[in-house]
Every structure is written in C-alpha cells, then in structure tokens.
A = this chain, B = another copy of it.
Amino acid sequence: MKTINNFYLWGLLNFYYMAGNTFGQLFKLLSFGESHGRALGGVIDGCPAGLELDLDQIQTELNRRKPGQSAIVTQRKEPDTVEFYSGIFEGKTTGTPIGFAIHNTNQKSKDYSHIKDSYRPSHADYVYDKKYGFRDYRGGGRSSARETASRVVAGAIAKQFLGKIKINAFVSQVGDMKLEKKYQDLDFTKIESNPVRCPDMETAGKMEAYIKSIKKEGDTIGGVITCVIQNVPIGLGEPVFDKLHADLGKAMLSINAVKGFEYGSGFEGVKMKGSEHNDAYNNDGTTTTNRSGGIQGGISNGMDIYFNVAFKPVATVLQAYETINKEGEKVAAQGKGRHDPCVVPRAVPIVEAMAALVLADHTILARSNKI
C-alpha cells in the first residue's frame, strides 16, 4: 500500500527549508536573499495606503548601514541601491504589498575560500553544517548580516509611517568606554556627525580612536546601542504575550551579534526597592521619573521608550587562530578579508529599523483591536 512514506521515494529523503523569514503580525516584512546571490529584498505587507514616501530618505538609511562609509567600518564596496516594484504609485503607498530588491554587485566569493574547510570560532559555520548538512561559506549566505539591508528598507518606510513618533539610536558604549550622559542631555542631531554615531562629540572622538587601535591589532570590540523612542501614543502593546517590550526585545535579539536587551531601569532596576523604583504621576498622567521606560504592563504609557542593546565583539579577528575542520581535526587558520572592527556604528540604523517595524506593527495592531 502506498502511504505517506512515499515521500521517501521522491529523492527528498533529507530535506530542509529555512523558517522564520517574516517579521511582524499586521505590518509585516518578508525578507529574501543571500549575501552572494543575485539580489536581496523583501515584501512589506500591511503598510497603509496614502503614505507619501520620501524615497531619498529610504536610500539615506541604507547608506548609513552600508560598508565603506568611514575608516572604522569594513572597506567592502556595495552600492546597495533599492528598487521598488509595487505598492507605490505617484509617490504614495497604495496599501498593497511593497516588493523591493537590492541587487548584489560586488560579491567576492574568493575572499572566503580560506575558510571553506574549517569552522570559524563563534561563527554560525559549525551549527549550519550540523543543522543543514551543508554550508554556504561565501559570506554566510542567509545568515550574513547583509540580510539586514532588507530590514533597513522596510524600517525606513515604517519610520515614515510613524510620522511624529521619533526613533533615535546611538552608540552608548564601546568596550568598557561608556557614554556617561543621560539621553535627555544629548543632542540627537549630532549622531550622524561622527563615524561612531555617538552624539557626544568628545566621547565619540575617544571611541573612534579606540576602535582604530583595536583595528590596528587586527582585533574587534563589542559595544552597546541605546535607542530612544519619543512622541509615542498611549496604548501600543498587548497585555499578555505580545507586550510591546517583548516584541522590541525579540526584534533586537534577532539582529546579528546581539547578546542582551534591557529597557527602562533594566538590570540596574533590580537593585532598587519598590518605593524607590515606582514612577509618581503628574496630574496630566505623565510621570516625574521614567524607570518604567515608557511601558507599563506591556503597553506604552506615553513617556519616552528607551532601551539598551548589547553587541558582542565581531568574531572575525584578523589574527592567527586554531580551530577544527569538518573531520574534527585541529587546524591553524588566519583571519582575512574586510571586516568591521566594531559592529555598533553600522548597527545603529538596523536598531532603528527594527524598532520602527515593531512600532508600526503595534500601531496597526492597536488600531485593529481598538476601534
């Protein structure tokens, strides 16, 4: 009798597919593309109609993420120009899916040939090989941070949808060098004025020098990005599983190299007593302090939302190291290629993009369930 086991006859005894390519529930991004394929891109599904789009601004966001923009980031050259195929008519969104692509033009597969047969420490090489039984060594394929270009495009559209809601991310720590000022004392217009994307020029200068020294050693260093969201209406977020900060946390943790997320008082807040930690109300419903970080019970309360995102040091160091090959034998290796000594300056627009996607999704969600 033929049964479901016939599947085995189809030559697809061992197959796999990669899940988890869509982000969002109502304002959604389905991302496609590999680092060394023909194009990356995506479809934004659920963006409301009638939104006047500033296409230059979208390209500007992509440029903030792209390689080669300064001396402290990877020197790869990728033009990263986005083309839109649908969902936009005479400069406005039509409410239908927005398809877009970013063609790959400068992929040097040979740059990766030296790592073809061994697993780079603290990279995804090993788990990919174990999970999928194969490995696209040419820059990580789908696991490459190049995929985040699609997120930046979608996030740039989400930002424009969000209108008065303003999202500003910046570098607040590189290694153990911390920006000590509170975000309220910073001038966000300074973020783009330096290659580190730290709005305090003095700290930015020190961070830049530090990253350069790290780069000289062929080493890398971690960092923290702080993100502040202002002019948020009250009421975004769902009370049980889809709390606003839970979705922000997932969004941030889905960015390559992220190791931690905290909002409001965060990990420091655990040391406080309730009587110290509680935010007292003003008559207008705002609070005198904001340890809550703009979210109560998973729902925005109208105060600024702020959170920190921890990035580990980039795993590719331009030094000699020992690792294993596919046979489990120890092999000597040498880091090569064009890589970032510190990922946080280029990750700033990615953090903003993911935050914008979460806010846009929760805006639509809130409107859909509160009418």
Contacts and interface: CB of A to CB of B under 8 A. Distances in A.
- Which residue, of A2, A127, A143, A242, has the highest number of chain B Cβ atoms within 10 A? A127
Of A9, A15, A42, which is in contact with the most chain B CB atoms at under 10 Å from its CB?
A: A15
Contacts of A220: 273-275
A323 B15 CA distance: 38
A262 interface: yes
A185 interface: no
Nearest to A354: B241
A170 interface: no
Contact of A18 (B9, B96, B272, B323): B96
B33 A30 contact: no
Interface stretch (A53-61, A130-138, A199-207): A130-138
Contact of A96 (B9, B96, B141, B243): B141
**Which of A5, A26, A143, A287 is the most central at the interface, judged by chain B CB atoms within 10 Å of its CB?**
A143
Given A239-B124, A283-B328, A317-B278, A39 B142 contact: no
Interface residues of A, number: 167
Given A95-B18, A370-B131, A371-B15, A233 B6 contact: yes
Interface string A244-267: 011101111110100111111111
Given A16-B371, A32-B96, A176 B296 contact: no
A84 B353 CA distance: 26
B128 A297 contact: yes
Contact of A267 (B39, B126, B310): B310
Contact of A297 (B43, B143, B222, B275): B143
Contacts of A98: 32
Interface in A250-307: 250-254, 256, 259-267, 269-285, 287, 291-293, 296-302
17 contacts: A12-B161, A17-B48, A20-B240, A32-B96, A33-B86, A40-B85, A41-B85, A122-B292, A126-B301, A128-B297, A143-B240, A175-B273, A259-B265, A267-B267, A274-B313, A274-B316, A371-B371
